[in-house]
Structure formats: structure tokens, C-alpha cells
Chain A
Amino acid sequence: MPQVNFVAADGSITTCSAEVGDTVMQTAMANDIDGIVAECGGSMMCATCHCYVDEAWQDQTGPRADGEDDLLDCASSEVRPTSRLSCQIRLTPALDGLVVHLPDSQQ
């Protein structure tokens, strides 16, 4: 079971156990992480699941999905090179220990 660390905008860290094959967004929802809204449930329509992948994990999480850039453009917080939609990051055993930072607002 991979662990995912969510770092809230205030710096507090919540560590959650996730299922391989689930997305980071689904893990956040299953654990009531406040900083992710995920209004569209993962259909890549809402940009309210925005997160910043910790730089140490950027290679492992891979590039943005097709169409992800268009939607990140609608995110309510600043978009950085590390910005991703958490519904587009699928967990593998290699992502055990993943660190993602949450923006201060999603809507």
C-alpha cells in the first residue's frame, strides 16, 4: 500500500494509505483532505483537484496528461511548473511516499 503525504497550505502534513491504481485525488477524497475539492469527480473538467508535486517526485509522477494544461489554466491558485491535477496522477508501488503540496484555494 503506497503512502501519500499531503502538505496543506499552512504546512501541516497528513499521511494517508492509498490503493495502487487509485488516483491521488481519490486518495484525498477517501481521507477527507480539505485542500482538494474534486467537484467533477475526476473527469478532468473542474480543476479543483489542483496540487503541486514535490520537486523530488516530479520525475516519477511523469508529464501532464493531454488536455491537462488547458484545465490548469482555469485553476484558482497560481500555476507552477510542478502543478498537476491530482485526478490525473495514478498511484503505483513506485510512488510510495509521494509528497504533494496543496494550494491555498481551489475555487
Chain B
Amino acid sequence: MIATAEMIEGHRRIAPPHGAPVWDVDPYDEAILCSPQDYYSELRRLGEVVYIPKYSVLAVGRYQVTHTVFSDYEHFVSSRGVGLDDFKLSRPWRQPSIILEADPPDHTKTRKVMARALSPKSVKMLEALFVQVAETLVDEVIARGTIDAIPELAERFPVTVFPRAVGMKDVDTRYLVDYGAMVFNAGGPDNAIRRRAMQSAGVIVPWITAACARNRLEAQGLGAMIYRAADAGEITVEEAAMLVRSFLSAGVDTTVTGIGNALWCFSQFPDQWEKLKADPGLLRPAFEEVLRLTSPVHTFARTANCDTTIAGVPVEADSKILCVLGAANLDPDKWPDPERFDIERRPVGHMAFGAGIHGCVGQNLARGELQALLGMMLKKVDRIEPAGQAVWRPNNGIHALNALPLRIIPK
């Protein structure tokens, strides 16, 4: 067993690797989490891989190297946790995910089941539901005129459609949102944000577990599809429950953030809203550009499972590597004029959904939700104007707004 003095934030301390710049920064500082652009650019400027003594971790933020490390599942594993805690050396806060926090060959099996449930075809069947709810919500916010778009659109849309898509019989929207915040904050250090988010874990975790049971799910829904894979012998019933839990962990907070960030982009860049109105065919690529520019999931980590190298720098086994997706998505070597929101950019290869074998399995659903909601706004809304200061919310894994006052001007 490793002595506690050698541990830091749930993983083993490492020596600063030879050739890696040392940067005395706290990536989880609240000011940085709310406004990360300077942190991203300094991280990229310093080098291919940077050592951060505060948490004794490595960090990558240039596009190419981030892409390489994030998709190299042989050297940089997910099974030891995709946050700062190393599941091999410290106790995970919950039973680890059997898809996100797993490696091949275990991952291959669960991924196939999830990918089928969340395929483009399967999401297409949800389109009518998404459009119907979008119409109701958009009519409501138009009637109100001035809104806080975070609770009134960004949160309301997913918490209305997502439990129905999954087929949940028990719905507590507050618990769903708070569970997502918990999951993503848990990837960071034991800071005040994480502790605050974890306060209600004792109530919410058992509620979530219970809600994933087969008898708590409708026969028509994504959850039931996962259980049918258990009937077919592809996975066990226990595994099915765990995969349904993955829907609830990863499917709410992320899409809430995607919608909030999209509305923020269009309120900040009205010329792009005009462009989209003129050519609604740009809707899907526009969402990709929202994701590239705002990276709803800003950071996920990997763990070096053996002595290896990153861009020629020696990396010792057990090193935690922060893969800063937000920095990679704004790398000027990959994206010309990266801070510009340009819905015609078609940023294929952006890392907001990750890359490689763990690339977001819910991305079709996320796109489907966005397309329904923004598509409805395109039909009914002439302009989206700021009606006050947008405020970002510090979260160890997610870059989301806390408040977004908007004026919704109908056509």
C-alpha cells in the first residue's frame, strides 16, 4: 500500500517529468473555471505537456497532443477514473461507470449496447417528442418576453424530454440536475465546489440507483432497450442497471449546458443568428461550432498505466493527465481565429464530445435535442438579445452558465 504522504487528491504524487515546464496554477480555481480562456492559452503556450505541482498532475491542451493522449486507451486508461482520483489507489465515490470508466475489452461490450440504444435511428424516433416539447416551451418564453434562459429553457427542456426518452417512471428534476453536477464536480480536487455538490449525495445516489431498476422504467424507452440487451444475454441485469445510470449521469447536465451555451453564443453574436435564420440548413454545423467554442465538458483525465511518453517527455506509470478539451478546441494551430463564433466553420474533429473509443455515446441525442429546440426558435423567434449580465458557474468538469438573462423577440 502506498503511504498517504505519497498521495495527493486521490492519486500518487509524481516527480516533475524531465522536459515538462512546471506551472504553478490551480486549474480548479473558481475564477479560472468561470473564465478559462487565459488559462487555456497559457497552457498551450507553455508546451506539449505541463506539470502542475498543486495537484501533482500533468496537463495537455494543444489540439494534437490532447487528441492523441485522449484516444490512446492502451497507455492512458479510463478504468482508473477520468478525474483526479485514481480508482486503483483510492476508493471511488460511487461504483465506477462500466462504460466511461472502463477499458477494452469490458468497454467494448457495454459500448456496443449503449451505441445501439443511442443510434441515429433510435434518436430519430424521439424527434416528435422533442419538437412537441420545444414548441410548448418556446411559446411560453415568447409570452414572457424577458427570461433567465438557464432555468427556463436550458434546464427545462432536457429535464422534460430526457426522463421521458429514457422511460423513467420516477422523475425528480432537481435530483437529476444535481446528480449531474455531482458526477462532474467529483472529477476535480476535494475543493469547496466539490464538497458543496456532494452534500446531498447521501439522498440522491440511492434515489438514482432505485430509479434505474427495471420495474421503474416504461417498456417503451431507452432504458428498456438496455434491459432487452440483458434479456438477449449481451450483458447482465446488474450491468443494464449500471448503463441506465450512465444515461442519468451524463445525459442531463451536459445537454443543459449545450443549450445554455448555444443561446449565449447567439445572444453574443447576433450576426450569426441572422445567418442561421437565412439558412436553417446550418443548424447542425452551428451546434458543432457552439460546442467547439464553449466546450461544455472542459476537462477529463486519463491515467498512465505504464511508464510511457507524451510528445517525447517521459511519463511515469500512475501519472494523472488532465486532458483540457476546452484548450484543444481553441488551439489557433488547429482552428484559425479560434475565438470567433462562425457557424459556417464545420469544425469536424472538435473535442467537445471527446474522441476515439470513448467519444460521447450520447451525441446523437444531444444533437437531436438541440436541433428540436433551436429549430423551433428559428421558426418563431426573430432576435435573442442579452437582457443583463451572463454569469458562469464554477464546476470542476463542466463549463456552464448560472444565469443568462435574455430578451426573446418573436417574429
Contact = CB atoms under 8 A, between A and B. Distances in A.
Contact of A74 (B108, B121, B356, B360): B121
B288 interface: yes
Nearest to A45: B363
A66 B116 CA distance: 12
A9 to B, nearest CB: 18
Main secondary structure on chain B at its contact with chain A? helix
A41 interface: yes
B348 A41 contact: yes
B355 interface: yes
Given A66-B112, A67-B112, A70-B112, A43 B119 contact: no
Contacts of B111: 67
Interface in B349-374: 349-350, 353-357, 359-361, 363-364, 367
B346 to A, nearest CB: 9
Interface residues of B, number: 25
B355 A41 contact: yes
B115 A40 contact: no
B323 to A, nearest CB: 15
B120 A47 contact: yes
Interface residues of A, number: 18
A40 B363 contact: yes
A8 interface: no
Interface in B305-340: none
A70 B115 contact: yes
A43 B112 contact: no
A39 interface: yes
A73 B348 CA distance: 22
Given A45-B364, A70-B116, A70-B119, 6 more contacts: A39-B367, A41-B350, A42-B356, A44-B115, A73-B119, A74-B120
